[in-house]
Amino acid sequence: MSAPPDLPDVVSRAFAVSRKAGYVSFCRNETGRLLATLAATRDGTMAEFGTGCGVGTAWLRSGVRGDARIISAELDARLATAAAEIFVDDPQVEVLAADWSTLLDKGPYSLLFLDSGEPGDVGVDSIADLVEEGGIVVLDDFTPCEVWPPIAYGRVDTLREQWLTDERFTTVEVMVASDASALIATKR
């Protein structure tokens, strides 16, 4: 069995910033490679809600082609400042120390990356108008589920159910690892 491919330089820098900041909650490499692949298909403006120390942003950036740009918002100013260091010389990436709602007037987005976090924050109704027609929403940090309705932590996973059944999007759950899945939703 061969070793996994090397990490893109920008992703390696983001991991170094995360370690230095003591931040251990970040985008998995499997999800990151998915983000880079999807970013390579997009033009226009992409966004991320919840930058952390910039690992997800770095994965997005590693896939960007042409003059597409990325805007990322992180509520924790310390983390946003750390993430911004990674992209200080990159005019295609802007990291804001702000709540994700500050990105509401900067769309629509061709790709939007969200952590599945609080269901009320990333529900379909909160997000639908932020994505352009044909745009993609990626939500990560799900545990794979083989039953319907989807169950997480002994309860119906209403967030996953919302995204998989909303008629404004065509959505699929994909396993990125044996213990992790992501939702990919394309706006109709």
Q: Which domains are assigned to the chain?
A: 9-187 (3.40.50.150)
Of 95, 60, 94, 92, the C-alpha closest to 80 is 95
Give residue 2's pLDDT. 42
Confidence of residue 31 (pLDDT cuts 50, 70, 90): very high
Task: Please compute the mean of the pLDDT values over residues 130-136 and round it to a whole number.
Answer: 96
Give residue 5's pLDDT. 65
Give residue 120's pLDDT. 54
Report the percent of the chain where pLDDT is more than 90: 66
Average pLDDT of the chain is 90
Confidence of residue 123 (pLDDT cuts 50, 70, 90): confident
Q: What is the pTM of this model?
A: 0.90
Q: How far apart are CA 11 and CA 86, in angstroms?
A: 9
In angstroms and rounded to an integer, the radius of gyration of the C-alpha atoms of the chain is 16
pLDDT at residue 8 is higher than 70: yes
Q: How far apart are CA 173 and CA 140, in angstroms?
A: 10
Give residue 137's pLDDT. 96
Give residue 117's pLDDT. 61
Q: Token pair of 97, please?
A: 């120390």
Q: How far apart are CA 128 and CA 114, in angstroms?
A: 13
